[in-house]
Structure 1
């Protein structure tokens, strides 16, 4: 039977912890029957990462690049452009290709290309598509792109470049989109962008940021429903990690259990779509507990998994497989 993402999904948010365990077991069992027991453990090298069971082979294996440097006009309340400071600046088509060439020379596998948005939510990628096409055709690197909203022109250029995945944050609540992302009519525009990307044959890997409304749940179920209306290559769940010097500094992030509830709905609602816990989320004990919920709910992969998460996965019959690339590429293994 199909799972009603809206109605049954909202019910999952309200059930007791014991009932949640039963639903997670259902998702876990489905995941085993469809995908087997490998747990894909991702560590893109934009983030230094080392645990007892895995050390990144090279700091240059999968690098994050920003085509706008640290500039962003949208200034979302949870970020204010601060995430861009962790990316390398490649603000011209030439510098983008040159940096990718260096990464290839050093044995790298790929890049994540991102950038700040304009005031309407678009990352201005058009002038970079020729360089991206060269990165794919001449260097044979994996290329995944955080697109923001997309026009048909941008999608056509990315399709011609044959990028490996387009990532886009999906918000299911109009108020949250307006007040946090400063995008009017955001849910409709985001679904439209996914439609455009899918029409051009680009693998889409939509992201849902749990707790975007100052740590509270608001629209995550609706976002999952929007995603389920299309044909995603994979779905990534991330969570608010309050940043200093932003409007959300000091707020409490969503609990690991709340994140687990959203992941359970994602798993039950999209049985044959890879579901992943992404890298953008709180660290420390919160991370360890969230890893456990992701495993129990039937996630296919976890980015920057804790050693405790690895041990817990093995205890539950899963076999961790380590990959120093972006988790958006999971669909290539799990298709």
Structure 2
């Protein structure tokens, strides 16, 4: 559990670096992409080649040991990107920026994280009904691409029937197959003070996390929404949950992984007891995806 907290803290630090270590304004201006072109990006080594092709080889190498590769679009000419992942590939639109992260201590793994900032709609402000329609289209697209709900091993498996309750309580969706009604959509943003809720999904070695953020309402009662996606390899996520994983041989890594699995299970049982005390139902049928083949 402590290793996982260390990972989350590390990811938080990366988030700070993403804002503090962005290219200069002049560099960003030189990197604006054409909105007439569709951009295809991969994770892994192919992802490095993708970014280098689109940025003419420009890499922002930071002392912390992270190589950032960035694509930017200048509104109102927003971008379209296809994140390639076989039958689970996603075509995302209305994009302001994409940042790929490669870590110098694991160069052979290529791009391990892709962060994307986008608008829910191409227009900056839209009527509430138009924003809702865009949300419905997005969730349908993600469901059709085969992405499934993902629970960390130490998290309580909240049952789908408590989806809305959990969104209002924890700002997290636990049933991505359920598309909120317009009434539920309005209720979520009226009752959540931060005006944001998120998804956590998985498919074949890749984690997809994204949030929908109501960022403003103008004098015409039109609404503005931002989408923030983080797409990362389960290999990166799992390995960084294990202390000193980079100093282990393959046998030691497997032993450490299995030990972490057992610890996580005990924490989950405790989390589920607490959830039941709060009135939540538990999904007894949820199965953890087999991720070891991606981790080793």
TM-score, length-normalised on structure 1?
0.26
Kindly indicate which of the two structures has a greater share of residues assigned to strand.
2
Larger Rg: 2
TM-score, length-normalised on structure 2?
0.29
| Greater relative contact order (Cα < 8 A, sep 6+) | 1
